[in-house]
Structure 1
């Protein structure tokens, strides 16, 4: 058992709880929302944001995501009194800078799913914001997927760009 206020649990995105609405912004099966903007796939937070899944800084969301969504940002939706970035309750005029309504907070980055079939769990894996920050602070650069041997195009074929599934992106995106 772990107490709810244990430092071992870390700090979740403020206001995000299990069951909160979440959104995965991406390009499922190469679709986009006009003007090459991402689609917002609805999800709900499926695991306790304060607890790590499998001992790693990740959480689970309940959503039917599809190929092409890996690397997508995941935002949790909060409602109530919204404090814009940089505004603190200790500021003398904090009330004039806040508003009641909906806001979105970054939960992390989507990386894949457990089960894609209709009768499987369809739980998405989200690496928490803390994992992203830790990776950036580590300062180690990986190898671009465009430089991996499996991504080297045939020299006689026209050059094109691919997502993680080797599906070509729409050409106008790179015009």
Structure 2
């Protein structure tokens, strides 16, 4: 009796683009929420607020992304304002991104000159809008700064 092989099945995955909520800044890849002046917070609170929105603290990974955000800040964020980012230091293990624990390449241009300086207390990341969103290391407690939350627009 001849044997027959069952037909092969293929699975296709399509990506669906998520719409950004009102008040969020839309890029082709992400939606960004920028805190208002009254929402400024310490770093850990900023992380929690982003999580409550289903988002992550912004992780500015490329120059292209930094330039996009720099061109789109809301009027309530001044060039002299500081903004927390989703980078943190794990002891002597280096800097990582909060959303996936991916190590940060500290040689990438997105760091400000002389940063990170690896001070024991400076274990969080922030950026200054007027400096092209270059990243600095900072102390996580005691400073209420703006923050930016991000959500990826592509859904699997």
Is TM (by shorter chain) over 0.5? no
Q: TM-score, normalised by structure 2?
A: 0.23
Structure of greater relative contact order (alpha carbons < 8 Å, 6+ residues apart): 2
